[in-house]
Copies of this chain bind each other. A is one copy, B any other.
Amino acid sequence: MRTITIKPAAITHNLNQVKKLAPHSKVLAMVKSNAYGHGVAAVLPALEQADGIGVATLAEALEARQLGWNKTIGLIEGAFTADEWQQAIDHDISCVIHHAPQLQWALENIPPASSATRVVWIKYNTGMNRLGFDAEGVIAAAKQLHEAGYRLILTTHFANADDSAHPLNAMQIQRFTEVLMTLKESVSNDIKGSLCNSAGIVNFPQYHYDWVRPGIILYGSAPVVDKSATELDLQPAMEFSAQIIALQTVHADNAIGYGSRWVAQQDTRTALVSIGYGDGYPRVVTEDAYVSVIEASSNQSYQCAVLGRVAMDMIVIDISNAPEDIALDSKVILWGDAPHVDEVAAHAGTISYELLCRLSIRPKRIQA
């Protein structure tokens, strides 16, 4: 059975790791894109000890409210229209304000003082060059919002926090710190700051400020280039698995799969596994790509290479490493404890975030 197993206990463990790394900051746990593909309904209960959650769209915010999340919800791209701003007010959602139209909606339509929407995350573009005001613009906007009665959190987003040595980090930190200081002096000392995503939490502990915004780290992947998930004591929150549906010996000089990409150098024992890109396993992987086959009786795990092109519904693996009598129906782990999704991402030339988000609806979803 094509199965995605979510492990809420792992998410809670990872949240606790974040709290150890950033003990003096509040935690906005990112659950955008269906909780990085894990399923927001499965994930929210595991995040009970977070101070808030972050989402990318109003629909995601409303879904979290419907699921009973009654603490802070941060809408990280803000309202897209004046109507969305009103809906944010209706559902006590705190919005990012990153450009002039959003500022205007906020000034024209001020929520009650008790509303969570009176908390605004005002976005400063320190070098990502996607969203945000420049220094002058952010200071002007902050003044207007403060005068209108909003409570402010200055925020920005790192472009290269995964690589602590990247020169842009220091520049982004400096710009952010300077503007935050200016705002505290010239507007209000109560203005808060939020700078760090997962990578920033690990790499820049001295700049955690009032709110940290962990994302991928909650799901058990390493957010930085020089430390593995294991070194950071993170637990993978997802296991993606399937089963062996056929066994075969492919004779020497025969090719496997579309494009006849992999040619057997010798007679090779292979297994068909009921998984493919139609489930979310990446179609293009390097020759290093492997899966783990679990022998049911012993619970022993065997690393088996993926052979040839990944198809929509199946892959072929080399089971030379596994016992001769490995059974049909044996469980095959695409990612989980081993291989870790970070490894699979490396084999697919991408990052774990993408693999987790781009799962299809076909696999059955369960919780461990």
- Residues of A at under 8 Å CB distance from B? 2, 32-34, 36-37, 56-57, 59-60, 76-77, 80-81, 98-99, 101, 127-131, 159-160, 166, 168, 243, 245-248, 250, 254-260, 270, 272, 274, 276-280, 283-284, 311-314, 316, 328-329, 349-351, 353-354, 357-362, 364
Does the CB pair B160–A258 fall under 8 Å? yes
Partner of A77, one of B131, B260, B274: B274
Does the CB pair B357–A246 fall under 8 Å? no
Known: A80-B245, A283-B354. 5 other contacts (CB 8 A): A56-B312, A80-B329, A127-B255, A131-B272, A159-B258
Sample 23 A-B pairs with CB under 8 A, ordered by A number: A33-B278, A33-B313, A34-B278, A37-B360, A56-B278, A56-B312, A77-B314, A80-B274, A99-B248, A128-B256, A128-B258, A129-B248, A129-B255, A130-B246, A130-B316, A131-B314, A159-B259, A160-B258, A168-B255, A168-B260, A283-B353, A359-B360, A361-B361
A325 to B75, CA, bound (A): 27
Give the interface centre of A32, A284, A357 by most chain B CB atoms within 10 Å. Answer: A357
A246 to B328, CA, bound (A): 53
Closest to A56 in B: B313
A318 to B364, CA, bound (A): 40
Partner of A362, one of B33, B272, B364: B33
A243 to B2, CA, bound (A): 34
The residues of B that contact A166 with a CB separation of less than 8 Å are: 260
Closest to A2 in B: B57
A328 to B105, CA, bound (A): 14
Does the CB pair A256–B360 fall under 8 Å? no
Give the interface centre of A33, A168, A259, A311 by most chain B CB atoms within 10 Å. Answer: A33
Given contacts A259-B159, A283-B351, A357-B277, contact A272 B130 (CB under 8 A): yes
Does the CB pair A260–B57 fall under 8 Å? no
Closest to A76 in B: B313
A57 to B364, CA, bound (A): 12
Does the CB pair B33–A360 fall under 8 Å? yes
Nearest-neighbour CB distance to chain B for A209, whole angstroms, equals 21
A278 to B257, CA, bound (A): 29
Does the CB pair B278–A357 fall under 8 Å? yes
Partner of A98, one of B129, B246, B250, B255: B246
Does the CB pair A256–B99 fall under 8 Å? no
Does the CB pair A257–B358 fall under 8 Å? no
Closest to A270 in B: B129
Does the CB pair B313–A77 fall under 8 Å? yes
The residues of B that contact A128 with a CB separation of less than 8 Å are: 256-258
Does the CB pair A57–B359 fall under 8 Å? no
The residues of B that contact A328 with a CB separation of less than 8 Å are: 101
Nearest-neighbour CB distance to chain B for A184, whole angstroms, equals 27
Give the interface centre of A129, A168, A245 by most chain B CB atoms within 10 Å. Answer: A129
A81 to B314, CA, bound (A): 17
Closest to A279 in B: B33
Partner of A257, one of B2, B159, B245: B159
Partner of A361, one of B34, B259, B311: B34
Does the CB pair B316–A358 fall under 8 Å? no
Closest to A161 in B: B258
A98 to B248, CA, bound (A): 11
